[in-house]
Chain A
């Protein structure tokens, strides 16, 4: 490329540039606009009264003392919501969830009453004054015990219903059973296999814990009859549709605005009782009502992640060639199934669990179970249960390697789907778009000098005095992101397309809006880069907006790393529509046939005559003044993109840990992460996504958990115990990449943001277990905190001086 073009190219700041973020100037000056920054005339503040019990009947709620407190305007209970039929609300999983508890509470900290007062201090005082009388019931916290014949009934409201949203229910605490694959054929392969291995593991309940908690400001204008809601929502259009369905207000009179969001991480996909209560309170009082939850409320009542009890089995030849996979999962969904998933997939995309390997036979089954815990399941960079899927297969491959005495890298290289087999049909019904796993793993092994690490480990193992055990973890994962094709995927009946609208102004600048919503992933920067490259408009003059349902085109929101695969594709296609119209206008201005005009970065050039051209800026002005006869004026385009398939990014991660045999302390010595997400829009932003995701992975694997005691008390739902690493604990990350484009995506780009979380967690476990592998340890449940690792060390007698 000549210098001139490079100069023009860099001015565009398009695809592939490490463009600095458009969002930053406001955030670094405290000028972001997050929900709790919103202040409206007459605005009141709402606070929840929550259940101290995990399972109890509500005998009586006395609101008199709270209502008598000066500054209190209302105290809502289920009785107030019943006439509106809003004491229960539908969930994305096809179940219902109590908005305010009616006859009973089913998890600790469940919403019982909503106090509305002049400000948050008075609201907190008043919440203390609401007097609730409970009759405690036995709590069920173990999902296996929940399915025992005489287990307490958690959901009285469902009694007598022997089928739910996802088929038959065989027990009062059973939610669904979901299966994929060929059960009988898989069973036959297991019967005849040379080698079989089996391991049970728990992917523990954790929480996405975005730094900004959930909240909203609901404002119903009684005069205009319209509702405006500022909200921490990752899917504001879906919220608008849901609110419309629940309230009977037409969607045209509901405006949902997701302003700047202080991180979502899947926590802000669903609708929470606080939103509903604030909306109802605003409708009743005719004034804006703000609700902002505390950290404890966030950690104890909004969407958790994981809680999959998994048993994996692999069948293989004696030489390590995998023949079959069988997995059973008992999924703890809490008291209401509010698990965010495409409607037809109650276990999300768990069936990607054959991983990066050419496994001819597989069968998975998932049983969802109610317990006296808060609802959720899908959140925290899980890509709809892909975290769990990758964890089980990666762990099982390690277990198999150990049984065979094979190196864990070697067994992976042996079983990888070869790159020429893509698009690859998995035995569980997915079609992987592209991949080159072998190259990726070998690149990582070379970068870290894998052979030398193994040699060092062998020396360490041979030394009986070594205080620090050495573990090497590997994870070679395949993600599935970009939900998704409307024939497979919908949210409450809405196909999972996404959208983009671009309008070019006469001066050549542009406004673009999408149906997704950033929570820090940099869409306002990267989306403009796509338009810059595809339509030749400098990113610096493209305004990108998301989140306002009155202005942005309808979309399904941002989660499941779907923004680049789905909205990114819509952006490219809308840009190309603009480019095509601009070409016709340029030809008209240049007085040549459109066939003789070609697009070149930021202009339209007559073929063979590089001096004869019209810039995009010139074309934009002409679009409002001088267009070919019969052409509509203006220059704008819309695209609603229904993807033909998911995208399947992949990665190869390697981790080296040192484990202290006396204390159980684990130090991460090295973590090397190679991600391949196809075409890279902005390498700087990808790297930031990876750093953040790896840090979450470290937190989940090494410390995060949400334990319950037998009475159903949630332990550690504050930052006193819930492990969020600081800069001191967080390891230094090394990142790398290869580029294997998605053949079906207009840009070849795949999603990536959840990959680092998905891939790093099994990598950490792989490393910690590897530290004990020479002593016969095949698996250790997370989190690998010092106490738990010490227990392993102690059980092996390693802590004896």
Chain B
């Protein structure tokens, strides 16, 4: 064990100080010190992306970054997306398009999509699939996640959009 270092960063708009060992991974700091348990851990080889957070305008797998490297940075996690009780368009879209089941990949997926849609506001299906390829999902088969991204993209561009799963479609007859 080595000495702890004081690290300061902004977490979802709030100034945050933590004292950590140099070896502490950012994901553990967020989850265990800052009580932001939305980002998850799904592997130890940096593949799954369940730990994805947004740092200084980049999607980062927080299991692959030391907390001390986050000094001075702006960190956004899934907990910081909804504003004033209003869901972010991406969150709403995941619900409308059934883009989640167990919800374990969802915080990382949504955080990744948050950055993706700023980089490419009108992505093609191929672009969506490619640019979320750092995020694994075991439940959805991705298809409804793609729909959710398209749904959110439309909404963020100010276009009218409806859930592709009509509530009463199976019932009326």
Contacts and interface: CB of A to CB of B under 8 A. Distances in A.
A212 interface: yes
Contact of B95 (A20, A36, A294): A20
23 contacts: A9-B171, A27-B102, A28-B78, A28-B87, A28-B100, A30-B37, A30-B78, A34-B37, A36-B31, A71-B1, A119-B32, A125-B1, A211-B102, A262-B42, A263-B138, A295-B42, A685-B98, A688-B101, A688-B139, A690-B141, A692-B139, A724-B138, A733-B141
Contacts of B28: 120
Contact of A262 (B77, B78, B102): B102
B101 A692 contact: yes
A40 interface: no
A695 interface: yes
A30 B114 CA distance: 14
A122 to B, nearest CB: 7
Nearest to A24: B95
Interface in B113-149: 128-130, 132-146
A265 interface: yes
A209 B138 CA distance: 8
Interface string A725-755: 0111010110000000000000000000000
A28 B108 CA distance: 10
Nearest to A29: B82
Given A28-B110, A37-B31, 13 more contacts: A9-B168, A9-B171, A18-B166, A20-B167, A27-B107, A34-B104, A120-B28, A211-B102, A263-B138, A694-B141, A718-B43, A727-B130, A727-B133
A687 B98 CA distance: 9
A240 interface: no
B141 A10 contact: no
B135 to A, nearest CB: 8
Interface in A1-20: 1, 6, 9-10, 13, 15-20
B103 A726 contact: no
Contacts of A39: 32, 35
Contact of A36 (B41, B138, B167): B41
Nearest to B39: A30
Given A211-B40, A683-B165, A727-B129, A522 B143 contact: no
B139 A19 contact: no
Contact of A520 (B31, B102, B144): B102
Interface of A: 1, 6, 9-10, 13, 15-21, 23-32, 34, 36-37, 39, 70-71, 119-122, 125, 209-213, 260-263, 265, 294-296, 519-522, 680, 683-685, 687-696, 718-720, 724, 726-728, 730, 732-733
Given A211-B136, A520-B101, A692-B141, A31 B38 contact: yes
Interface in B7-38: 21, 23-24, 28, 31-32, 35-38
A526 B132 CA distance: 29
Contacts of B79: 29-31
Nearest to B35: A39
A522 B107 CA distance: 18
Contacts of A20: 95-96, 98, 163, 165, 167
Given A262-B40, A263-B138, A695-B142, A719 B45 contact: yes
B75 to A, nearest CB: 13
Given A28-B95, A70-B1, A726 B133 contact: yes
Given A28-B87, A520-B139, A727-B133, A262 B100 contact: no
B150 interface: no
B170 A24 contact: no
Contacts of A692: 101, 138-141
Nearest to A38: B37
Contact of B171 (A16, A24, A25, A70): A16
B48 A522 contact: no
Contacts of B105: 211
B61 to A, nearest CB: 12
A719 B141 contact: no
Contacts of B32: 39, 119
B102 A29 contact: no
Contact of A17 (B78, B81, B143, B170): B170
Contact of B102 (A26, A119, A212): A212
Contacts of A691: 140-144
Contacts of A520: 101-104, 139
Contact of B43 (A15, A683, A719): A719
B91 A29 contact: yes
A260 B135 CA distance: 20
B101 A29 contact: no
Contacts of A15: 171
Contacts of A296: 44
Interface in B43-68: 43-45, 47-48, 50
B78 A29 contact: yes
Contacts of B139: 263, 520, 688, 692
Nearest to B142: A727
A51 to B, nearest CB: 19
Nearest to B49: A726
Given A683-B169, A695-B142, A727-B128, A21 B98 contact: yes
B42 to A, nearest CB: 4
Contacts of A263: 101-102, 104, 138-139
Contacts of B160: none
Given A36-B31, A688-B139, A29 B81 contact: yes
Given A520-B101, A520-B102, A683-B170, A30 B165 contact: no
Nearest to A10: B168
Given A19-B167, A121-B21, A30 B77 contact: yes
Which residue, B39, B107, B139, B140, has most C-beta atoms of chain A within 10 A?
Answer: B139
B133 A262 contact: no
Contacts of A260: 102-103
A13 B167 contact: yes
Contacts of A122: 1
B48 A719 contact: yes
Contacts of A720: 45, 47
Nearest to B149: A727
A698 to B, nearest CB: 9
Contacts of B130: 727-728
B143 A34 contact: no
Contacts of A37: 31, 37
Which residue, A6, A30, A296, A730, has most C-beta atoms of chain B within 10 A?
Answer: A30
A208 B104 CA distance: 15
A7 B168 CA distance: 10
Contact of B137 (A9, A21, A211, A733): A211
A628 B44 CA distance: 63
Given A212-B42, A687-B98, A727-B142, A32 B103 contact: yes
A15 to B, nearest CB: 8
Nearest to A694: B141
Contacts of B102: 27, 210-212, 260-263, 519-520
B166 A27 contact: no
Given A21-B95, A211-B102, A724 B136 contact: yes
Contact of B104 (A70, A212, A728): A212
What 5 A-B pairs have minimum CB-CB distances, sorted nearest first? A30-B38, A27-B103, A520-B102, A262-B104, A691-B141
Contacts of B44: 294-296, 718
B42 A34 contact: no
Contact of B91 (A28, A209, A262, A294): A28
Given A121-B24, A724-B138, A23 B103 contact: yes
